[in-house]
Structure 1
Amino acid sequence: MVVVVSPPENQTSIRFLALGDWGGVPYPPYITPVEKATAWEMGKIAEQMGADFVLALGDNFYYSGVNSADSPRFQDTFEHVYTADSLNIPWYILAGNHDHAGNVKAQIDYSRKSDRWRFPHYYYELNFRIPNTKRTLSIMMLDTVMLCGNSDDYDDEKPRGPLSTIEANRQLTWLQKRMAQSKADFLLVAGHYPVWSVSEHGPTECLLKRLRPLLVKHKATAYFCGHDHNLQYLKESGVGYVVSGAGNFLDPDTRHWHHVPKDTLKFFTGQASTLGGFVHGEVTKHKMTLTFIQAKGTSLYRTVLPRRDIDIDQNGSDDKD
């Protein structure tokens, strides 16, 4: 499924927030202190720095998703928490392992009940034009649980393979085709499981094998994920890897520190003192700036990624405006 989005014409960039693992708890008050603090700071940052949409990177409802589009958890853990006017923007959703413990279709169906909850399919593509330029941004939203299997099925929390090989291959074929065809100036891919991570779950073997080659081959700008409950930034083979899983819990675990390529880790924090965190992205004509923000109100790290170096038109020139 492909969704074309038109941001406001009175700006020259696209701004967004990326938040993972934000799904509260299944008992009163249905939220955690980290979720509350992070939601508050997101509202402030969206107002100050601007935000056109939120990328919600899975584990939307702890601990076992929801079973119905009428579940009170949509109100208790989402609508009543992210209440700032500046967060009344589209939330583009994908599913995590905890969501798959419930009924993901119920989350997709909730899109019809909420003005801001946008979850059209298990995996889908978002296309934006950067206002007042000819530049474009594409985001491929994936279901990595459908692709790799559910990590919660095993003691070591490593997915062992998809529930349906047919569905996994169908998604991968779709992704290969869409990435190969993409002429976007900025190409992002988002899923729940990390490709690279130094924390508890570490790198996801299935994604290293099936997704990483596509990210490198098609010159993806960045891959966004959650799953590990902290903030990380890694740069490997020209691709930026963003872990933003600090929306509800925090984990300073770095047991996989030596399981990522040398010198690729640029930033890590999972300290309880940050109170939570998320990432702010801004895409302009020439670059994407990512700012890692802690819930207690300061930016922790910033990095800039260039526009894709691809041959756009037949004259060998990619300068489109």
Structure 2
Amino acid sequence: MSPVGNSRAMEWIRHIMEKLVVLLAFLPCVSMKTVWSPQQDGDPSLRFAVIGDWGGLPLPPYTTEQELLVADELANTASKWGADFILSVGDNFYYDGVKNVTDIRFKATFENVFDGESLRHVPWYVLAGNHDHNGNITAQVAYTNVSSRWIYPDLYYDLSFKIPSTNVTVRLLMLDTVVLCGNSDDFVGGQPLGAANVKLAEKQLNWLVEKLQTSKDEYLLVAGHYPVWSIAEHGPTSCLVQHVEPLLKKYRVTAYLCGHDHNMQYLQDNSGIGYVLSGAGNFMENSRKHEEKVPEGYLRFFQGEKETMGSFAYMKITPKEMKITYVKSGGKSLFQTTLYPRDL
């Protein structure tokens, strides 16, 4: 080929490459097939989603439309923003938990639903709700040895994380509020009926006090199924208001994370503690039945409209702040707020 021919060929190749660069710039989501790294944006952080009350139904196909939509959006969010783990705050299997470790519900309601590519290797840290306690709760704990991503070592347990590339730590204390306060009947409403075993309840409460006392973590989170504060169908949990809320204040907890009421709420008390209620994984209830039982000024956000079709809370914790975003199925942000490290 003549020098002129070579020059024209190189010019044509450059022209094609320039077009490809422009095209790819407008199609990043289509072209990217790898899972988004949580640290890719150069901002060291710990990122996770909080999802509650996602437990499908006890009859085939063992799911609800809302659960499927939430699972899709959870996968999308993990792909776009990153996820170090998922926090499940209970009622994992409606209405009576599971029978044994081989129960079909583990596959049909969990494994086969939350199966997006970005979720396949993300650990789920699990705690139990009242419906889980209606079944074989020991089987849910034992499933930890079956599934590579289901992590539920005991009814209550302690998790500790370090924000990558920093010395900033996040402590997450996982409670079993059914053991603490007793079971409840969602179809009747009302408060938990009181601890079935008072000694076990006292043992867990003493464990919580010890963990709170010794925490030197910049961020200190407590999670349980029942809410401390809620304006909705179940309302504030009097047992937790009496026994746990004073401890959250005394030890300057950053936030309390929960489910139980089937909607999304964010409340914040006068000491700055955030109360993150994320119970819209499977059903939506637009109830404000107990609004008058929550101190004035605590409620900052509420969403219970059925058209929302599910939601979850997404957390991004950096050395400087903890950003909380409520995300609905379809990807829209419903509400966002910020909490800050503890003053140690």
TM-score class, shorter-chain normalisation, is: over 0.9
The amino acid that maps onto 2:138 is K
Structure whose residues are more often helix by fraction:
2
Equivalent pairs counted in the alignment come to: 304
Q: Is the 8 A contact 1:153 1:159 kept in 2?
A: no
For 1:15, the equivalent position in structure 2 comes to 47
| Contact 2:267 2:298 survives alignment (8 Å) | yes
Of 84, 87, 100 in structure 1, the residue corresponding to residue 119 of structure 2 is 87
Question: Which of these residues, 273, 278, 287, is aligned with residue 307 of structure 2?
Answer: 273
* Contact preservation (8 Å) 2:268, 2:275: yes
Corresponding residue number in structure 1 for 2:245: 212
With the length of structure 1 as denominator, give the TM-score of the two structures: 0.92
| 1:257, distance to aligned residue in structure 2 (A) | 1.2
Taking the aligned partners of 2:187 and 2:307, their CA distance within structure 1 comes to 31
Shift in Å, 1:9: 7.8
1:156 Cα deviation after fit = 3.7
User: Cα offset for 1:54?
Assistant: 0.3
Structure 1 residue aligned with 2:163, among 130, 137, 145? 130
- In terms of fraction of residues, the more strand-rich structure is 1
Percent sequence identity over aligned pairs: 50
For 1:267, what is the secondary structure of its paired residue?
A: strand
1:240 and 1:155 map into 2 onto residues whose CA distance is: 28
Match of residue 119 from structure 1? 152
Q: Is the Cα–Cα contact under 8 Å of residues 98 and 132 in structure 2 kept in the other structure?
A: yes
Distance 1:232 1:118 in 2: 26
Distance, in Å, in 2 between the alignment partners of 1:257 and 1:140 is: 28
Q: Quick one: distance in 2 between partners of 1:267 and 1:186?
A: 22
**Contact 1:8 1:131 (C-alpha < 8 Å) held by counterparts:** no
1:46 aligns with 78
- Change beyond 3 A, Cα 1:43–1:24: same
Deviates more, 1:134-143 or 1:293-302: 293-302
Change (3 A) 1:293 1:9: closer
Q: How far has the Cα of 1:158 moved from its partner?
A: 1.1
Secondary structure of the structure 2 residue equivalent to 1:178 = helix
1:256 is matched by which residue type in structure 2? H
Which of these residues, 331, 337, 342, is aligned with residue 297 of structure 1?
Answer: 331
Distance 1:159 1:35 in 2: 26
RMSD: 1.4
Instruction: For residues 234-284 of structure 1, give each alpha carbon's deviation from its aligned partner in whole angstroms, at most 9, with x where no partner exists.
Output: 000210000000000000110111111101100000111111000000110
SS of the equivalent of 2:98 reads coil
Superposed displacement of residue 114, structure 1? 0.3
Alpha-carbon separation, structure 1, partners of 2:38 and 2:338: 23
Contact 2:38 / 2:81 at 8 angstroms: preserved in 1?
A: no
**Range with bigger deviation, 300-309 or 156-165:** 156-165
Q: 1:166 to 1:46 in 2, by over 3 A?
A: same
What CA distance in whole angstroms lies between the structure 2 residues aligned with 1:199 and 1:141?
A: 23
Please, which runs of 5 or more residues in structure 2 have no aligned partner? 1-36
Deviation of 1:139 after TM superposition, in Å, equals 0.3
Q: Is the Cα contact below 8 Å between 1:274 and 1:296 reproduced in 2?
A: no
- Please show how residues 20-39 of structure 1 align to structure 2 within 5 Å: 20-39=52-71
Q: Deviations over 1:87-139 (max 9, x none)?
A: 12000000000000001110000000000000000000100010111100000
Aligned partners of 1:300 and 1:77: how far apart in 2?
26
Query: How far apart are the structure 2 equivalents of 1:34 and 1:156?
Result: 22
Pick from 283, 287, 297: which aligns with 2:321?
287
In structure 2, the partner of 1:71 is 103
**TM-score between both structures, scaled by the size of structure 2:** 0.86
Q: Structure 2 matches for 1:189-200, cutoff 5 A?
A: 189-200=222-233
Unpaired runs of at least 5, structure 1: 1-6, 311-321
Identify which of 238, 248, 255 aligns with 1:222: 255
Residue in structure 1 matching 2:274, options 240, 253, 262 = 240
Q: In 1, are the aligned partners of 2:99 and 2:139 still within 8 Å (CA)?
A: yes
- 8 Å CA contact 1:216–1:238 kept in 2: the answer is no
Residues 153-176 of structure 1, C-alpha deviations (whole Å, 9 max, x = no match): 994431121000000000000000
Amino acid aligned to 2:234? H
> Given the superposition, is the C-alpha separation of residues 153 and 165 from structure 1 closer, same or farther in structure 2, using an over 3 Å criterion?
farther
Equivalent position SS for 1:282: strand
Distance 1:79 1:122 in 2: 21
After superposition, the C-alpha distances for 1:20-79 in whole angstroms (9 at most, x for unaligned) are 000000001100011000000000011111111000000000000002011010000000
1:61 aligns with 2:93: yes
2-structure distance, mates of 1:136, 1:46: 22
**Which of the numbers 104, 126, 133 marks the counterpart of 2:137?**
104
